[in-house]
Amino acid sequence: MNIFDSHCHLNDRAYDKDRGAVIENAREAGVRKMMIVGITQKTCKQAIEIAEAHEGCYASVGIHPHDAAACSEKTLAALKEMARNPKVKAWGETGLDFNRMYAPADIQEKWFVHQMETAAELGLPLIFHERDSQGRFAELIRTRAPKGIQGVVHCFSGTSDELHQYLNMGFYIGITGILTISKRGAALRQMAAAIPEDRLLIETDAPYLTPAPEKNHTRRNEPAFVKRVLTKLAEVRNTDARDLARVLWDNTSRLFDINDAGPAIQSVKKENLQ
């Protein structure tokens, strides 16, 4: 199988000592491509550097709502320049997070709207983050987003009503290892069974959200474990994992406009393995 991890943070310091080995683990597990997601100006730069060093790896640039207070026009200008790199295939992770409130709501909203506008200007799909926004996330998309934007609601864990709203907006739905967790993933398993197959993506959000049973042995998630999400999703949807893998591969490639030849992740800069 060729598997695409549509959202991981290999630019996280959790991988500083063994990043090359983690990428090799992914390759051995059949994970041939990965989207490395930026959340700050620094991590966006790191994502691009990793993507440049490894075939099959791509990058996104954006400011996470947790970091919205540090965003500025200068920041967005720098990210726009980074987005000229051919390895950059998406804008994000951006959105609203009213759970921990690391940034005030109005600041999050301001820069979320600006980032949607910037993504539309550049013709890039968006990687959305939403948590506990009580409908405000969807409202801003309906009222402030440029027409025709595309994107994925990363790490979906919302309600059935929210799911239908996102599908009606034309977005893809990112499924994580939460699907594999007995109690926490029960509602998600019910909803995931009914999502149209052409709107599904799978992801790890590594190093976070380690799936079961890997979570019983390690706290750190990694792209290799996205195979567990795939097999659980196939089970939930009563379909063959290989067939589903092909659909998910095509979905992810279509969203991120990736049509280059050759699925394998290979290192091209040995000095950047660590």
Task: Enter the tokens of residue 244.
Answer: 């589903």
What is residue 230's predicted lDDT score, i.e. its pLDDT?
98
Residue-range definition of the domain harbouring residue 32: 3-260
pLDDT band at 268, cuts 50/70/90?
very low
What is residue 264's predicted lDDT score, i.e. its pLDDT?
52
116-152 pLDDT per residue, tens: 999 999 999 999 999 999 999 999 999 999 999 999 9
More confident residue, 268 or 181: 181
Q: How many domains does the chain have?
A: 1
Domain-located, residue 113: yes
pLDDT band at 81, cuts 50/70/90?
very high
Domain-located, residue 272: no
Backbone angle region of 64, left / alpha / beta, with phi > 0 → left and psi within -120 to 50 → alpha: beta
5-45 pLDDT per residue, tens: 999 999 999 999 999 999 999 999 999 999 999 999 999 99
What is residue 269's predicted lDDT score, i.e. its pLDDT?
41
Query: Which CATH number do you get for residue 72?
Result: 3.20.20.140
What is residue 252's predicted lDDT score, i.e. its pLDDT?
98
66-80 pLDDT per residue, tens: 999 999 999 999 999
**Phi, psi (degrees; rounded to nearest 5) at 128:** -95, 145
Strand partners, 201: 174
Domain-located, residue 269: no
- Residue stretches of the annotated binding site for a divalent metal cation: 7, 9, 93, 129, 154, 205
Single-letter amino acid code for the residue at 49? E
Domain-located, residue 120: yes
What is residue 261's predicted lDDT score, i.e. its pLDDT?
52
Strands of the sheet with 200-202, listed across from one edge: 3-8, 31-37, 57-61, 88-97, 126-131, 151-153, 172-175, 200-202
- Name every residue whose Cβ is closer than 8 Å to that of residue 153 and which is 6 or more positions away in sequence: 128, 130, 166, 171, 172, 173, 174
Could you tell me the pTM of the whole model? 0.94
What is residue 88's predicted lDDT score, i.e. its pLDDT?
98
pLDDT band at 266, cuts 50/70/90?
low
The mean predicted confidence, pLDDT, of the chain is: 95
200-209 pLDDT per residue, tens: 999 999 999 9
CA triple 201-177-113, angle to 5 deg: 55
What is residue 272's predicted lDDT score, i.e. its pLDDT?
40
Domain-located, residue 274: no
- Residue stretches of the annotated binding site: 7, 9, 93, 129, 154, 205
How many residues appear in the chain?
A: 274
Rounded CA separation 138/157 (Å): 14
Domain-located, residue 183: yes
- Name every residue whose Cβ is closer than 8 Å to that of residue 45 and which is 6 or more positions away in sequence: 38, 82
Kindly tell me if the per-residue pLDDT of 92 is higher than 70. Answer: yes
pLDDT band at 256, cuts 50/70/90?
very high
| List of E strands, the chain | 3-8, 31-37, 54-55, 57-61, 88-97, 126-131, 151-153, 172-175, 200-202, 266-267
Domain-located, residue 270: no
Domain-located, residue 60: yes
